[in-house]
Amino acid sequence: MCTGGCAKCLGTVLIPLAVLCTLANILLFFPGGKVAQENAHITNEVWYFGGILGSGVLMIFPALVFLGLQNNDCCGCCGNQSCGKRFAMFSSIIFAAVGLLGAGYCFILSAVALNKGPKCNTGSSWTYPFMDGDYLTDHSLWNKCLAPENIVVWHLTLFSLLLIMSLIQGVLCGIQVVNGLFGTLCGDCKCCGCCG
């Protein structure tokens, strides 16, 4: 497969993942699927916008660059037809690094949130009753959260989705780093036979 075509495939997958990460982060602002009575009732990691900024906005830029690489028809430089393609592929490595940073940010926030557990009403106050991640293996501890209803499942599901999707995004951006390196060294297969 041509390096430009490979990048286009990666960009096509990154766009829906970025949208899904953004939606998952937005849903976390509604603990248990209901409107929070106060902002203080929402888990702190939600306010760091890992899914919206990290795996959402920061992922859109690399995805759009990857989508446009196959159709980059730069005229070249110094009489070398593939020079423009090579520079475009090199620039895609930089954008892939931005995507890796965004995905890493979301991954780390999601892992911390999963370990910490949700913020919920334990009867006496709104607090984090599961500070050590013990609730992940012992479901009987979930009864500590009295409100909002089903907050543990809500928290666990959405942050797990963010964790998995950001991991996939990171892998895809890593693939583009390697693909971009090949494209920089060899050019696109339409311009140079060494990669085709």
Q: What is the pLDDT of residue 194?
A: 38
- pLDDT-derived band of residue 156, with 50, 70 and 90 as boundaries? very high
For residue 127, is it within any domain?
A: yes
For residue 10, is it within any domain?
A: yes
How much is the average pLDDT of 158-186?
A: 92
Beta strand 126-127 with 120-121 is antiparallel
**pTM assigned to the model:** 0.86
For residue 196, is it within any domain?
A: no
Average the pLDDT over each of 80-94, 120-134, 156-170 and give the range with the smallest value: 80-94
Per-position DSSP letters for 70-110, written without gaps between them: TT-----BTTBTTHHHHHHHHHHHHHHHHHHHHHHHHHHHH
Q: How many CB atoms lie within 10 A of CB 138?
A: 9
Query: In sequence order, which residues have a C-beta less than 8 Å from that of residue 18 and are 6 or more positions away?
Result: 55, 56, 57, 59, 60, 63, 169
For residue 67, is it within any domain?
A: yes
Task: Compute the half-sphere exposure of residue 143: CA atoms within 13 Å on the CB side of its CA.
Answer: 2
pLDDT at 134 over 70: yes
For residue 40, is it within any domain?
A: no
For residue 101, is it within any domain?
A: yes
Query: Strands, E, within the chain: which ranges?
Result: 120-121, 126-127
For residue 195, is it within any domain?
A: no
How much is the average pLDDT of 105-118?
A: 95
Task: Compute the half-sphere exposure of residue 54: CA atoms within 13 Å on the CB side of its CA.
Answer: 28
Q: What is the pLDDT of residue 193?
A: 41
Burial status of residue 147 (CB atoms within 10 A of its CB: 0-12, 13-18, 19 or more): middle
Tokens 């990154």 found at: 14
Give the range with max mean pLDDT: 23-27, 64-68, 69-73. 23-27
Q: What is the pLDDT of residue 187?
A: 65
For residue 37, is it within any domain?
A: no
- pLDDT-derived band of residue 1, with 50, 70 and 90 as boundaries? low
Q: In terms of residue numbers, what domain contains 64?
A: 3-32+46-73+80-186
How much is the average pLDDT of 75-88?
A: 57
How much is the average pLDDT of 162-191?
A: 86
Average per-residue pLDDT in the chain?
86
pLDDT at 169 over 90: yes
Considering its fold, how many domains does the chain have in total? 1
Peptide bond into 118 cis (omega under 30): no
